[in-house]
Chain A
Amino acid sequence: MAARGEPVIKVRDLKVDFASRRVLNGVNLDLKRGEILGFVGASGAGKSVLTRTIIGLLPFREGTIEVLGTDLGKASPKERQAVDRRWGVLFQQGALFSSLNSGKNVEFPIREYLRLSPKLTTEIAIAKLEMVGLKPDVYRNYPSELSGGMVKRVALARALALDPEILFLDEPTSGLDPISAAEFDHLLLTLQETLGISVFMVTHDLDSLHRTCDRIAVLADGKIIEAGTMDVMLESQHPWLKSYFHGERAHDDFHVPIKGRRVTERRA
């Protein structure tokens, strides 16, 4: 296992145009191995655009994106596919295949990439479902039969199917009740500990940012205006950040322990 802390994603001077409007104007961002990076920004600031550009769903105009040592701008389709299978993506609405049941959804990437025996494929899929806190019987349920929280969990199990090194999460706790959201945060921390996974998480959930993120990056005006730990965010003098972290919805006397500040307490 490579050293913790070295960057797995390096974004340099990235520029993306969207319908003749420049959305990202020189973004520099690192995701380090083994960390959970929270990614915040106003609605419409281009968070989704950046995420979708990194995972290759949108073309970019200038700059470089390097993922796990591969320059995505220059990679051949084969190299690209090799990178594709080393990351997992959790879409906001889950994006489960509605014609397959949960188990087959999780098995899909395993079946396509690893060609294991059917028995082992099923066993791994069930193990993944159990890892994200679901009962084995969910295997047979179709997405339309699942609640919102369960859909997210199944989608997470699918994103984790190939034991990826990087996990992209798009607002994973949106639409979940606070209890489920807290469970999701714990799940994420457990996965970080057990699998040593690096996580890139777009979120608006302040509790989630406090609980899970090692670092936070802030996008505004097409650039990363601040990146650092929660303490850095809380001390920042940038007006948007001030209203974000000290505004009406934020509570300065957090009941949620900030990750890294009282590490021992959480791990106890």
Chain B
Amino acid sequence: MAGDRPLARHWGLFGDETADFGSDFLTAGTLQHGSSHGDGLDLRAEGHWTAEHARALEPLADKLTYGHESVTRLVFDATRITQLDTYGAWLIERTLRIWASRGADVRLIGLPPTYGNLFAKVRAGQQKLTPLKHKQTGIGATLESVGRTMTAVFSDLFTIFQIGGQLVVAFLSVCANPWRFRFTSLINHLERVCWHAVPIIILITFLIGAIIAQQGIFHFRTFGADIYVVDMVGVLVLRELGVLIVCIMIAGRSGSAYTAELGSMKMREEVDALRTMGFDPVEVLVLPRILALIVAVPILTFIGSMAALYGGGLVSWLYGGIDPKIFMSRLHESINMKTFAVGMIKAPFMALIIGLVACMEGMQVKGSAESLGAKTTDSVVKSIFLVIVIDGLFAVFFAAVGI
């Protein structure tokens, strides 16, 4: 049984001269050029015309097919074929079709009756694909792709507003009927996006604060302005860096998770199931997630800013020789409540943007695993981009009102 259909040994039989020929050589399929008389040609097929030998048989068949263009009568003798499968059957059928399309008179003789059904089945195929539309090239194509990208950008914006609107509606309807709000879900998400994120946020912001202080001291020392490091760390961390670092971390950590969760729920029709049961997916899935983010990001921003100040203070003391008492009193002078508020006020807005983008991308996942991956990537990239844009807008705004 094992011998009648050799396993792996035939791969590369003809491509690789060192292959183990042995007795299998006798069973390998061949196609021979029989007697040719005038405008007629006899072809004789032998041996195993199977998948294992298809690689070697194809060039044999092609060589004979394209070598005798003038032949008008072809006789294909299949009597000595010892084994045939779909591959062999198609190779025969393909050869016959090419000759027939040239107007030759084609005959297949001696096909072993066991393979009659198989050959008939393969012969029944049409093999015609409707031609594809040609892709444009040159300036037209470039313009087209630019246009498509722009439409995609606008449709993204539109979708964000759409989901934002649905969110407002869901929020108001929950406010009107507070018992409908999914409190358990909110707590669950809070645990995941806030509580579980605390260690990594503390670690990262601590390191960032420490690095800023070290760099500041290193460069300020050359003109004896070491002490201004405290001003720099205080203002930079509280106004900008604390919230930015936290938001970038959260976009990568929780935004991507939201997109993947909602996307796989979309793929498995769970979102549709919710809808048919009369629930609004935005209210059930999106609202608790986004509210959890809006609560979590300010808390994490506060924790992160404190950790960054601590890191800055520690480095100032150990590396810069600024005593903690001096650091604290200097910090009191350089920052005030407004500096702190400017950073904190941005946090919920950025949380909203991260949440909206993540949920929007999640809801746009189509059926394939690839689209889930693409949308998750998009979610992280877009939310980080928008977080930075919003930070810039806030900076312009605060400058205009003079804070």
CB within 8 Å of B: which residues of A?
1-2, 6, 8, 68-70, 78-79, 81-83, 86, 98-99, 113-117, 120, 123-124, 126-128, 130-131, 136-137, 139-140, 142-145, 160, 162-163, 165, 190, 193-195
Complex Cα distance, B117 from A190, in Å, reads: 9
CB of A120 within 8 A of CB of B54, answer yes
CB distance from A217 to the nearest CB of B (A): 22
**Closest chain A CB from B14 CB (angstroms):** 11
Alpha-carbon distance between A131 and B85 when the two chains are bound, in angstroms: 13
Beta-carbon contact of B5 and A131 below 8 Å: no
Contact with A along B318-339 (1 / 0, CB 8 A): 0000000000000000000000
Given A2, A114, A139, A195, which contacts B54 in the complex, CB threshold below 8 Å? Answer: A114
Contact residues in A for B122 (Cβ distance below 8 Å): 127, 131
Scoring B residues 122 to 147 as 1 if CB is less than 8 Å from chain A, else 0, what string do you get?
10111111101000000000000000
The residue that B4 contacts in the complex, of A2, A137, A142, with Cβ under 8 A, is A2
Chain A residues with CB below 8 A from B125, complex form: 126-127, 130-131, 136
Check A99/B127 contact, CB under 8 A, given A120-B54, A123-B94, A163-B50: no
* Secondary structure dominating the interface of A: helix
CA distance A113 to B122 in the complex (A): 21
Q: Within 8 Å CB of A190, what residues of B? A: 117, 121
Nearest Cβ distance between residue B114 and chain A, in whole angstroms?
7
Q: Does B55 contact A (CB under 8 A)?
A: yes
Inter-chain contacts of A194 with B (CB < 8 A): 117-118, 120-121
A115 contacts across to B, CB distance below 8 A: 11-12, 55
The minimal Cβ–Cβ distance linking B117 to chain A, given in whole angstroms, is 4
Interface window among B33-41, B222-230, B363-371:
B363-371
Question: Chain A's nearest CB lies how many Å from the CB of B277?
Answer: 22
Contact with B87, one of A136, A144, A163 (Cβ below 8 angstroms): A163
Contact B58 A1 (CB under 8 A): no
CB closest residue in chain A, given B86: A163
Kindly report which residue of chain B lies nearest to residue A191, judged by CB atoms.
B121
- Asked if B368 and A123 make an inter-chain contact with CB atoms under 8 angstroms apart, the answer reads no
- What residues of chain B lie closer than 8 Å to A123, measured between beta carbons? 90, 94, 127
Contact of A78 among B8, B118, B121, B127 (CB under 8 A): B8
Residues of B57-87 whose CB lies within 8 A of A: 58, 83, 85-87
Please classify how large the interface on chain B is, using the bins under 10, 10 to 19, 20 to 34, 35 or more: 35 or more
Kindly list chain B residues whose C-beta atoms are within 8 Å of the C-beta of A6.
Answer: 1
- On chain B, the residues within 8 Å of A114 by CB distance are 11, 51-52, 54-55
Report B177 CB to chain A, min CB distance, Å: 37
Choose among A83, A117, A124, A145 the residue with the greatest number of B CB atoms under 10 Å from its CB. Answer: A124
- What residues on A are CB-neighbors of B94 within 8 Å? 123
In the complex, which residue of chain A has the Cβ closest to the Cβ of B52?
A: A114
Shortest distance in angstroms between A4's beta carbon and chain B's nearest beta carbon?
11
Chain B CB within 10 A, most for which of A81, A123, A139: A123
From residue B398, how far is it (CB to closest CB) to chain A in Å? 46
Q: List, sorted by A's number, 20 A–B pairs whose CB atoms are closer than 8 Å.
A: A2-B1, A68-B2, A69-B1, A79-B7, A86-B7, A98-B369, A113-B11, A120-B91, A124-B54, A124-B86, A126-B125, A131-B86, A136-B125, A136-B128, A143-B368, A144-B367, A145-B367, A160-B86, A194-B121, A195-B85
Instruction: Report the separation of the CA atoms of residues A250 and B83 in the bound assembly, to the nearest whole angstrom.
Output: 42
Whether the pair B8, A82 counts as a contact (CB closer than 8 A) is yes
Give A82 to B7 CA distance when docked, in angstroms: 6
Residues of B within 8 A of A83 (CB): 7
| CB-CB contacts below 8 Å: B1-40 with A | 1-2, 4-5, 7-8, 11-12
Complex interface bits, B190-230 against A, C-beta within 8 A gives 1, otherwise 0? 00000000000000000000000000000000000000000
B8/A120 in contact, CB under 8 A: no
Q: Is the CB of A116 within 8 A of B55?
A: yes
For the complex, give the distance between the alpha carbons of A162 and B2 in Å.
Answer: 17
| Interface pair A124/B90, CB less than 8 Å apart | yes
Evaluate contact between B54 and A136: CB separation under 8 angstroms. Answer: no
Which residues on B sit within 8 Å (CB–CB) of A99?
368-370
* Assembled-state Cα–Cα distance A256/B91 (Å): 38
Q: How far is the CB of B296 from chain A (nearest CB, A)?
A: 33
Asked if B7 and A130 sit within 8 Å, CB to CB, the answer is no
Kindly report which residue of chain A lies nearest to residue B6, judged by CB atoms: A82
A202 smallest CB distance to B (angstroms): 23
CB atoms of B90 and A127 under 8 A apart? yes
> Could you say which of A1, A6, A145, A163 has the most chain B C-beta atoms within 10 Å of its C-beta?
A163
> Which chain A residue has the least Cβ–Cβ distance from B55?
A116
Could you say which residues of chain A place their CB within 8 Å of the CB of B83?
1
Closest to A3 in B: B1
Distance between A74 CB and nearest chain B CB, rounded to angstroms: 15
- Please indicate the chain B residues that have their CB under 8 angstroms from the CB of A86 in the complex: 5, 7
Beyond A116-B55, A143-B368, whether A1 also contacts B114 by CB under 8 A is yes
Given contacts A98-B368, A116-B54, A116-B58, contact A130 B8 (CB under 8 A): no
- Expressed in whole angstroms, the Cα–Cα distance for A117 and B367 within the complex equals 31
**Choice from B50, B58, B367, B368 contacting A120 with Cβ under 8 Å:** B58
Given contacts A1-B83, A127-B86, A190-B121, contact A117 B58 (CB under 8 A): yes
- Contacting A at CB under 8 A, from B342-390, are 366-370
How far apart sit A160 and B94, CA to CA, in the bound complex (Å)? 20
Given the complex, which residues of B lie within 8 Å of A8, measured CB to CB?
A: 1
A130 lies within 8 A of B126 (CB): yes
Q: How far in angstroms is the closest Cβ of chain B from A183? A: 15
Residue of B nearest to A70 (CB): B2
- Are A144's CB and B366's CB within 8 A? yes
| Contact indicator A162/B58 (Cβ below 8 Å) | no
Q: B54 contacts which chain A residues (CB < 8 A)?
A: 114, 116, 120, 124
Partner of B129, one of A78, A120, A136: A136
Shortest beta-carbon distance from A148 to chain B in Å: 12
Partner of A126, one of B8, B127, B366: B127
Q: Give the contacting residue for B118; candidates A144, A162, A195; CB below 8 A.
A: A195
Near A by CB (< 8 A), chain B positions 274-304 give none
Closest-by-CB residue of A relative to B374 is A99
CB B119 to nearest CB in A, in angstroms, measures: 9
A140 vs B52: C-alpha distance when bound (angstroms):
27
